[in-house]
Amino acid sequence: MDGAAREELDMDVMKPLIDEQNSDGMSDEEHENNFLPAEKRCQLDNKEGITFIQTLMHLLKGNIGTGLLGLPLAIKNAGIVIGPISLVFIGIISVHCMHILVRCSHSLCQRMKKSSLGYSDTVSYAMEVGPLAALQKRASWGRSIVDFFLVITQLGFCSVYVVFLAENVKQVHEGFLENKLALINVSAASSSSERRSTDLRIYMLCFLPFMILLVFIRDLKSLSLLSLLANLSMAVSLVIIYQYIVRDVIDPRKLPPVVGWKKYPLFFGTAIFAFEGIGVVLPLENRMKDTTRFPQALNIGMGIVMTLYISLATLGYLRFGDEIKGSITLNLPQDKWLYQSVKILYSFGIFVTYSIQFYVPAEILIPAVTSKVEQKWKLFCELVARALLVCSTCAVAILIPRLDLVISFVGAVSSSTLALILPPLVEILTFYKENLSLWTVFKDVLIAVVGVVGFLTGTYVTVEEIIYPASTVLANTTESISVALNATDLVVGLK
């Protein structure tokens, strides 16, 4: 498969809502012709379908990003024992919810005589066939709810990327300056200190014009080569990170097995942020040549993702202990070019991925704006709207310039809704006429309750940490005192 074809598939994966909005324009005859049993409904054109291996690769690509690098800090917020166990638990529930969504989509396709359904249409039709008249009358709300949270999720991802880029590039740049000045003389210490104090927000603003130019590329096929290079750079970075963290790990007995409950919601937000790949599940399943093998692909793909998550999260915390930062790349040495290159390579991959994550909210929101203007102004209005959306993601990053808190907040607010709350409720609505067992109802309600509790507590704790960053202030105060004492010792020593 050439680069253009590969990127075309990426575009299909990243726009799960767009084709759904146009599906109702088909005639009844076309619907009847396209309707097939669930086992064969996506095998109409094998030439356009994606293979098992391609589906597997897209699942990996849709789930591996900045959330992976923030998981070691998540383990710190839960404990070296309860953290990995909870990560496995959340991973299993997330995969189960993905399977639930696929089953419900199959059933609703048969009932509604549709060739395929995406996430938002699945929720909408589930409300339509459900037992409650109030939900039936408001079935269209289901699509709006999914659209809303998907937009929040994708723009949240973009805000996370802005913070990630700024923190990593800041560390590389100032590490380079520090090493360069250290080679000159000791008197450069004060100058180096001034450089290290450069505000993180300045780096975010420096990236802003480049990100705006990037999203002005409206056709993702034009980014095919950059996308391929981004994937390779991120893969190489992960290999280098692994080879570093497996050395000199801390004795697990020196780390707390369980951390207080006040920090656990931060773990939940980060974990569910990392596992929130449910938005790509139905688009991928709809594109497969042989949809009967999709559950197998989903299990294998998410099994690999869970193994990667748990291993990197646990090893990263064991390697750096309480010094672990919002992204494990920030803990890598600043005086060795190999590990500085990891930050550059991963940052390049995240920069390119920004435009891909931006695609879905742009395609949902921008048509609502351009439809109200004359044809000659459509392009100009679209570009302005794209620039304003990018500025909004940068504004969120500037307001919350802590990578761990942005990740946890996005995970608690939107990822928990899409990944944990909606799928079990959709299953109850879809299959209530089929005499659901008491165990199934109990299981679905329990999963939804876990999602709601995670949503509320994760949002509360994260917002509280954003407004009253007591731990951060204390850490910064301690660091300032330490620096002052070191500077005093240096002056005394010179005298």
Predicted local confidence at residue 41, as pLDDT? 43
Predicted local confidence at residue 114, as pLDDT? 86
Whether the CB-CB separation of 488 and 446 falls below 8 Å is answered with no
Predicted local confidence at residue 395, as pLDDT? 95
Residue 176: phi and psi, rounded to 5, are -65, -45
Predicted local confidence at residue 237, as pLDDT? 93
Predicted local confidence at residue 14, as pLDDT? 54
Specify the 3-state DSSP secondary structure of 6: helix
- Residue 18, burial from CB neighbour count under 10 angstroms (0-12, 13-18, 19+): middle
Q: What is the dihedral of CA 289, 292, 294, 297, to 10 degrees?
A: -100
| Cβ contacts of 334 within 8 Å, gap of 6 or more | 171, 172, 175, 178, 179, 340
Largest CA distance in the chain: 92
Neighbours of 92 (CB within 10 A): 13
**One-character DSSP codes across 295-348:** HHHHHHHHHHHHHHHHHHHHHHHHHHGGG--SSGGGGS-SS-HHHHHHHHHHHH
Nearest-Å Rg of the Cα atoms of the chain is 24
Predicted local confidence at residue 470, as pLDDT? 60
Distances from the Cα of 23 to the Cα of 48, 113, 115, 123, 441, angstroms: 18, 12, 10, 15, 31
Predicted local confidence at residue 100, as pLDDT? 94
**pLDDT string in tens for the chain (495-residue length):** 444 444 444 444 554 444 444 444 444 444 444 444 434 443 444 446 788 888 888 888 778 878 889 999 999 999 999 999 999 999 999 999 999 999 999 999 988 888 888 898 999 999 998 888 888 888 889 889 998 998 999 899 999 999 999 999 999 988 887 777 766 755 444 444 444 557 889 999 999 999 999 999 887 677 778 878 888 998 999 999 999 999 888 888 889 999 888 889 999 999 999 987 888 888 888 888 888 889 999 999 999 999 999 999 999 999 999 999 989 999 998 888 899 999 999 999 899 889 888 888 888 888 888 888 888 888 899 999 999 999 999 999 999 988 888 999 999 998 899 999 999 999 999 998 888 889 999 999 999 999 999 999 999 999 999 888 765 444 444 443 343 444 344 333 433
**One-character DSSP codes across 239-269:** HHHHHHHTSSPPPGGGS-SS--TTTHHHHHH
Whether the CB-CB separation of 353 and 67 falls below 8 Å is answered with no
Structure tokens at 421: 């709350």
Give dist(CA 282, CA 99) in Å, integer: 10
| Cβ contacts of 476 within 8 Å, gap of 6 or more | none
435 phi-psi bin (left φ>0, alpha ψ -120 to 50, beta other)? left
Residue type, 32: E
